[in-house]
Chains A and B, each alone.
Chain A
Amino acid sequence: MARMIGAEMFFETLIHEGIDVVFGLPGGYVLKVYDVMPKYSDRIRHVLARHEQGATHMADGYARASGKPGVVLCTSGPAATNTVTGIATAQMDSSPVVVFTGQVPLPYLGSDAFQEADHIGITRPCTKHNYLVRRTKDLPLAIKEAFYIAGTGRPSPVLVDMPKDVLIGEDEFVIPGEISLRGYKPPKKGHPGQIKRAVEMILAAKRPLIFGGGGLIWSGATEELKELTHRLQIPVTLTLMGLGAYPADDPLFISMLGMHGSYAANMAVHECDLVISIGARFDDRATGGNFAKFAPNAKIIHIDIDPATIDKNIVVHCPIVGDAKEVLKQMLEMLPAKVKTSRKEWMGQIKDWQKQHPLTYNQNGDKILTSYVIDTLSKITDGEAVVVSDVGQHQMWVAQWYKFKYPRTHITSGGLGTMGFGFPAAMGAKFARPDKMVISVCGDGSFQMNMQELATAVENNMDIKIVLLNNGHHGMVRQWQTMFFNGNYSASKFDVLPDFVKLAESFGAKGLKAKRPEDLEATLKEGLSTEGVVLMEIFVDCEELVYPMIAPGGAMNEMILGPGTQLENMADVADMA
């Protein structure tokens, strides 16, 4: 085949892998790649981010919205270290982000050359695998392996480090064949014996509950899950990462569980006799963190593609390692087509819990409540938008109040809780789903962490909506200070904030403001129907708290339901915090 330089091989291999967009920023050792880029610009779009962290979140948002790998390209040293937060974010939420970094020429490796950092060493704990490419001819195979590893098994980030001499070196370009790695064989189907045991447990259960996580979305198991729950009448709760995997308007759906989950969902976990966990990892935010008191009356089935999640936090009765979609298919084959089950008592109990303590808010003052904003947003868009939340109180209200109907429409940084993720991730999601309305819901604190990407959004003529909830504080920090630190509001209030509308306008975006509850709906409607980059700054009440709340380390039936139900041992809880 043709002779070419490493930088050209980079693009040829990317194109061969079906990549059509790259998020990046040029610099020293990667300049040869940028030099040849115009030749490929008809097939690969380059989005010039303003910060490598922004680029990495964009690639992550793209991956989460599309299911395909998101690609980052940047130079060495500070550029590479800037991607680390984005890589760790993708790692915690199992998102296939592939990062390509330039590196100093091989003879200078380890010499503290200009803009040198040990990318491989720094990213080793937050990637599934990483490569230092030493020869030009090895580059295509490293790239192909990187995509294979990132996208199969449990999706995860992979980094490929490309020294400058590898990029400018010339060699024969050969498209690598099928990847076969002797140390990497991702599981697909579940063990039939274990699945048979699980089916028996499911058929014997009186109060079963589906506990679904992000794995459902990555495996695309929504239809199989619906088939299972409808055939057997099993109620479904989802973790934060699982939202969208099951339609919120389905009668069997009982909302999110966990630290800010619904009363009914958390009580159901506590009282059920069988937990069927699918693609979830029993994170402390989903289980309350008190693993000893988790689902005390239940047997647990744990379906996960990653064997290392089995028995990590909670010792389970029936582990099944495999892809959620494949395992559910196997289960459905073993289950009778029609199952006579009476769930009257169990569903009745759940309905009672829903009635006793529904998710609620009371919008009657002259300050706008964030829960009201999200509820209104959900109604205006009819749950059809892709909503990308940032991290904090608003994130929890999005999870509680936006009625997600489809997988890949709810995107958020769950595991790492990366503030600043939301806006660039929303941009990535828009590149993945140009057909959908994409809304970045963020706080004043989180937006300030990556607001430079407004320039990128305007530059790319994006049609993207930002709902910025301004409460003048780090809201979730303030909430914890209210609840666990006697209202000692240390460093949570902003004395200076930009005028976000003017800020948006200065970037060439459109800005709108709403200060009073009666203006909210009109502002949202106007903003959502205006073409282009639109920032809607909504001034919200900083005193609104997210309820219910399981205090850290608490059991799932020990919820703080509202201002009147503070726990007695708040001081102890603060120590756990």
Chain B
Amino acid sequence: MRHTITLLVDNESGVLSRIAGLFSARGFNIESLNVGETLDPDTSRITLVTTGDDFIIQQIIKRFNNMVNVIKVSDLTEEVRVEREMVLVRMDARPETRAEILRTADIFRAKVVDVGPKSYTLELTGDKDKITGFIELLRPMGIKELARTGTVAMKRESKLTKRGEEK
């Protein structure tokens, strides 16, 4: 099963490899990983997406909790949450595709962040499915280069469940 895990960690060298080490020791792959400073410059937030046996993920979360540099761990998988990632796509912009590229960007509310005689670079933020859908639509028009951030996530403040009922 796919798990989205966020960790608050000390913002110091070596912490990331401690986190990653637990996955490699189990032979697990990390699907995406995001690290960034929080409001407190001594603290970073890591958002990690992985797919694996629930039992082993629970073990890994317990091991995260044991780490001296890990302040808080949350598995957001079962939580109501906001998940976003960002992608930059450089399109091969030939005369016959230029208009279609812009139209697609417009539909997805993507931004054009760089324009050249032979390319457009688009920026899009959204959840994983939206980003994947966007890329699939662009693919036939000729993608030159692509950079995807992976997921960042946060628990929603409102206690609304997925069905829109109060918890």
A residues contacting B by CB (< 8 A) are 120-121, 124-125, 128-129, 132, 149, 181-184, 306-308, 310-312
Tell me the nearest residue of chain B to A312, going by C-beta. B59
> CA A307 – CA B61 in complex, angstroms?
10
Min Cβ gap B113→A in Å is: 35
Tell me the nearest residue of chain B to A134, going by C-beta. B13
Chain B residues closer than 8 Å to A132, beta-carbon distance: 13-14
Contact A183 B10 (CB under 8 A): yes
Sort A-B residue pairs by CB-CB distance and give the 9 closest, nearest first. A308-B62, A129-B68, A183-B71, A184-B68, A183-B70, A308-B63, A307-B62, A182-B71, A183-B68
Chain A residues closer than 8 Å to B63, beta-carbon distance: 308
> CA A183 – CA B71 in complex, angstroms?
4
Report which residue of B10, B59, B62 has the largest number of chain A beta carbons within 10 angstroms of its beta carbon: B62
Chain A residues closer than 8 Å to B25, beta-carbon distance: 125
Chain A residues closer than 8 Å to B71, beta-carbon distance: 182-183
Tell me the nearest residue of chain B to A311, going by C-beta. B58
Min Cβ gap A145→B in Å is: 8
Give the total of B residues in contact with A, Cβ under 8 Å. 20
A129-B68, A183-B67, A184-B68 known; A308 vs B21 contact (CB < 8 Å):
no
> CA A182 – CA B25 in complex, angstroms?
26
> CA A308 – CA B18 in complex, angstroms?
16
> CA A86 – CA B67 in complex, angstroms?
21
> CA A182 – CA B62 in complex, angstroms?
16
Min Cβ gap A160→B in Å is: 13
Contact A308 B67 (CB under 8 A): no
> CA A310 – CA B71 in complex, angstroms?
20
Chain A residues closer than 8 Å to B58, beta-carbon distance: 311
A125-B25, A183-B9 known; A308 vs B66 contact (CB < 8 Å):
yes
Q: Is B65 an interface residue (CB 8 A)?
A: yes
Excluding A132-B13, A132-B14, 15 further A-B contacts by CB distance (< 8 Å) are: A120-B14, A121-B17, A128-B68, A129-B67, A181-B68, A183-B9, A183-B10, A183-B68, A183-B69, A306-B66, A307-B65, A308-B62, A310-B62, A311-B59, A312-B59
Q: Which of B17, B59, B65 contacts A124 (CB 8 A)?
A: B17
Chain A residues closer than 8 Å to B14, beta-carbon distance: 120, 124, 132
Chain B residues closer than 8 Å to A128, beta-carbon distance: 66, 68
> CA A50 – CA B32 in complex, angstroms?
47
11 A-B residue pairs with CB within 8 Å: A121-B17, A128-B66, A149-B68, A184-B68, A306-B66, A307-B65, A308-B59, A310-B62, A311-B58, A311-B59, A312-B59
Min Cβ gap A370→B in Å is: 37
Report which residue of B9, B25, B68 has the largest number of chain A beta carbons within 10 angstroms of its beta carbon: B68
Chain A residues closer than 8 Å to B66, beta-carbon distance: 128, 306-308
Min Cβ gap A186→B in Å is: 10
Q: Which of A124, A182, A184 contacts B18 (CB 8 A)?
A: A124
> CA A163 – CA B130 in complex, angstroms?
49
Chain B residues closer than 8 Å to A306, beta-carbon distance: 66
> CA A308 – CA B70 in complex, angstroms?
14
Tell me the nearest residue of chain A to B15, going by C-beta. A183
Contact A124 B69 (CB under 8 A): no
Min Cβ gap B13→A in Å is: 8
Chain A residues closer than 8 Å to B69, beta-carbon distance: 129, 183
Contact A124 B62 (CB under 8 A): no
Chain B residues closer than 8 Å to A183, beta-carbon distance: 9-10, 67-71
Tell me the nearest residue of chain A to B24, going by C-beta. A125
Contact B68 A125 (CB under 8 A): no
Chain A residues closer than 8 Å to B67, beta-carbon distance: 129, 183
Chain A residues closer than 8 Å to B9, beta-carbon distance: 183
Report which residue of B21, B55, B66, B71 has the largest number of chain A beta carbons within 10 angstroms of its beta carbon: B66
Min Cβ gap A359→B in Å is: 36
Task: Give residues 81-108 of B contacting A (CB, 8 Å).
Answer: none
> CA A120 – CA B12 in complex, angstroms?
13
Give a binary string over B18-31; 1 marks a CB under 8 Å from any A CB, 0 the rest. 10010001000000
Min Cβ gap B24→A in Å is: 9
Min Cβ gap B8→A in Å is: 9
> CA A120 – CA B69 in complex, angstroms?
14
Chain A residues closer than 8 Å to B55, beta-carbon distance: 311
Min Cβ gap B45→A in Å is: 14
Chain A residues closer than 8 Å to B68, beta-carbon distance: 128-129, 149, 181, 183-184
Chain B residues closer than 8 Å to A307, beta-carbon distance: 62, 65-66
Chain A residues closer than 8 Å to B21, beta-carbon distance: 124-125
Min Cβ gap A10→B in Å is: 21
Chain A residues closer than 8 Å to B13, beta-carbon distance: 132
Chain A residues closer than 8 Å to B70, beta-carbon distance: 183
Tell me the nearest residue of chain A to B25, going by C-beta. A125
Give a binary string over B34-72; 1 marks a CB under 8 Å from any A CB, 0 the rest. 000000000000000000000100110011011111110
Min Cβ gap B155→A in Å is: 20
> CA A183 – CA B64 in complex, angstroms?
10
Min Cβ gap B62→A in Å is: 4
Min Cβ gap A496→B in Å is: 39
> CA A121 – CA B18 in complex, angstroms?
9
Min Cβ gap A515→B in Å is: 48
Chain B residues closer than 8 Å to A310, beta-carbon distance: 62
Chain A residues closer than 8 Å to B10, beta-carbon distance: 182-183
> CA A149 – CA B68 in complex, angstroms?
8
Min Cβ gap B49→A in Å is: 22
Tell me the nearest residue of chain A to B72, going by C-beta. A183
